Amino acid sequence: MDNAENALKNSLNKSTTPFSRFASTYSENASVQSHVFDYLLEKFNEVATIQPQTILDFGCGPGTHTLKFLEAFKTPHIIGMDISSEMVAEAKKTQNNATFLTADEFKDSQETFDLILASSVFQWVDDWNASLTSLYERLNSQGWLALSIFGPQTFHELAHSLSILMGRPQQLPASRFRTAHECIHILDPIMNIKVKTSSLIKKSYPSVIALLKSIQHTGTSGWGLSEKRVWTPGFIKQLEQVYQSLYGGIYASHHVYFIIAQKP
């Protein structure tokens, strides 16, 4: 188990910095992530055959979503874990009867769970095989794994607008997100997959600046554009004009996969 959990921690380490930097502003800018979490929990309740008594909120962030477990289930034992110590510190401020741990603290706990839910996390994980193995080993018999994963069509309007403006293809971090097929390929031989579906969630913003700030304050700016660029006011004004001409407004799609599986 240690090898798999070390791989999981190492896989997430490179995305820690942007999330840590905006830990205090994440919740107020993460309406799409909140909607995704709610839908994933709703789908779990539709297919689950148990009332989970031990729950892991994997990648709990500032603990906002962890509160929803307390509303949804009777007296569960809940652990929220995040790779970012700043996120864990924010989560502990909620004082919501859940236990919040950093990745190192979680590794030492050796606890197992009836439900592990990882919402809007795995798009940042490099080694899906080792990471999913680690979570599988943390499940009790008949336990459940529920995942939502952002896919490569996320922010495709922004990527296309930038490509038009700059005269050559531009890749956002989201353009490098993988499809869910790899995840399903790993889980299918070892778990009973009950839900595998996807959704394109579109949100409007009052301006390009508002969209960029939302991306920044949820940490999803990630590794940056494929081409270095100084975002001057003039460049952003031009981007707004291109965006409006292409889409008639400032819209951003969020491409999300939902996977729910049960351990035999």
Q: Extract long-range pairs of 203-206: CB within 8 Å, 24+ residues apart.
A: 203/31, 203/32, 203/251, 203/252, 203/254, 204/249, 204/250, 204/251, 205/250, 205/251, 205/252, 206/250
DSSP per residue, 57-72: EET-TTSTTHHHHHHH
- Model pLDDT for residues 87-116, shown as the tens digit of each residue: 899 899 876 688 999 988 998 888 999 999
Question: Coil, strand or helix: which one is 200?
Answer: strand
Average pLDDT over residues 78-86: 91
Superfamily of domain 2-154+175-201+256-262: Vaccinia Virus protein VP39 (3.40.50.150)
Domain ranges within the chain, ordered by starting residue: 2-154+175-201+256-262
**Structure confidence at residue 159 (pLDDT):** 93
Backbone angles phi, psi at 46, to 5 degrees: -70, -35
Q: How far apart are CA 203 and CA 32, in angstroms?
A: 8
The whole-model pTM stands at 0.88
- Model pLDDT for residues 192-222, shown as the tens digit of each residue: 999 999 999 999 999 999 998 888 777 655 4
